[in-house]
Amino acid sequence: MKEMTRPALKDRASRPRAPMGRVVSLFRECLFPAGCAVCGDTLFGAEEAWYGLCCQCMGRFGIEDERRCLSCGRPLISEQERCLPCREGEGFSFDGAFALWPYAGNYRKLLGAYKFGKTLALGNFLAQKMTDALPLFYPFTRREDGPRIEEFSWVPVPPRYGKIKNSGWDQIDCLAGKLRKNHGVRIDACLERLPSQTQKNLGRQGRRVNLLGRIRCRKPPPDRVLLFDDVITTGSTLDVCAKTLKESGAKEVFAFALFYD
């Protein structure tokens, strides 16, 4: 467990005040301590309480500036521009993708604590990391004629039919709220999902077929879209969403995921 130290009075007085949301998070953590979502250590200070992680664990989740596949967003090893599966595959309807971390080890634990443990404070951390990663996202930084992020609306992948009604929340819907409130991101939840099988129990081909015709636009989509989800596995969910958006009028659709599997 970390050792808590009391800063000198003059040091404390000179520090800027934490935003109200962080103060409320710290107050809640003092009354109902949850601890770090990854290591379980005690949380000290408004920032740790706000993000739901201790400083040591926050430092573990950096984002590497490395070469990534232009199609699926996964890091490249020895390939050029596109990974082997994307070169040999059928292609995607989205124009490019970016994913932050591998879905393994502590990264898997991070998503599990948020998605299944409903540690909502982690939504603040994940939203922060998504916006931090934008300078590394190829379409916005490495093409002279590429689009600017300010021109895009962020469109969340819609939850499974009835999920919010049955469970009271959806991890992507919650993340969209954090992005809008904390970072001023323009969110356009224009997609909805009709009843279908859950994707996680299906293979690659089954995933591609399962959602065909099951995603639709409730209204005309934005011209330029940053479509986001928590995990990209085969890319099928993002692909069907992108296809629907383009058929409904979107001109460009890029995909953004927290994790790749």
Q: Is the pLDDT of residue 215 over 50?
A: yes
What is the reported pLDDT for 144?
Answer: 67
Indicate the pLDDT class of residue 18, thresholds 50, 70 and 90.
Answer: very low
Structure tokens at 32: 């109902």
Dump pLDDT digits (tens) for 22-51.
877 876 767 766 899 999 999 999 999 999
Looking at residues 183-187, what average pLDDT do you find?
A: 95
State yes or no: pLDDT of 187 exceeds 60: yes
Mean pLDDT of 6-15: 34
Return the SS3 of 176: helix
Per-residue confidence (pLDDT) for residue 14, from 0 to 100 = 34
3-class DSSP state of 173? helix
Q: Work out the number of other CB atoms within 10 angstroms of the CB of residue 178.
A: 20
**Under CATH, what is the fold of the domain 90-260?**
Rossmann fold (3.40.50)
| DSSP characters over 118-149 | --THHHHHHHHHHHHHGGG-HHHHS-TTPPPG
Of 29-38, 91-100, 165-174, 179-188, which gets the smallest average pLDDT? 29-38
Query: How much is the pLDDT for 35?
Result: 93
* HSE-CB of 203 using CA atoms within 13 angstroms: 1
* Residue ranges of the chain assigned to CATH 3.40.50: 90-260
DSSP reduced 3-state for 114: helix
The predicted pLDDT at position 17 comes to 40
- Which comes out higher in pLDDT, residue 218 or 4? 218
- Band the pLDDT of 10: cuts 50, 70, 90: very low
C-beta of residue 242 within 8 angstroms of C-beta of residue 92: yes
* For range 83-89, the mean pLDDT: 86
Express each pLDDT in 99-109 by its tens digit.
999 999 999 99
Read off the pLDDT of residues 108-145 as tens digits, 9 standing for 90 and up.
999 999 999 999 999 999 999 999 999 888 666 666 66
Q: Phi, psi (5° rounding) for residue 260? A: -120, 140
Q: Average model confidence (pLDDT) for the chain?
A: 84
Higher-pLDDT residue of 147 and 41 is 41
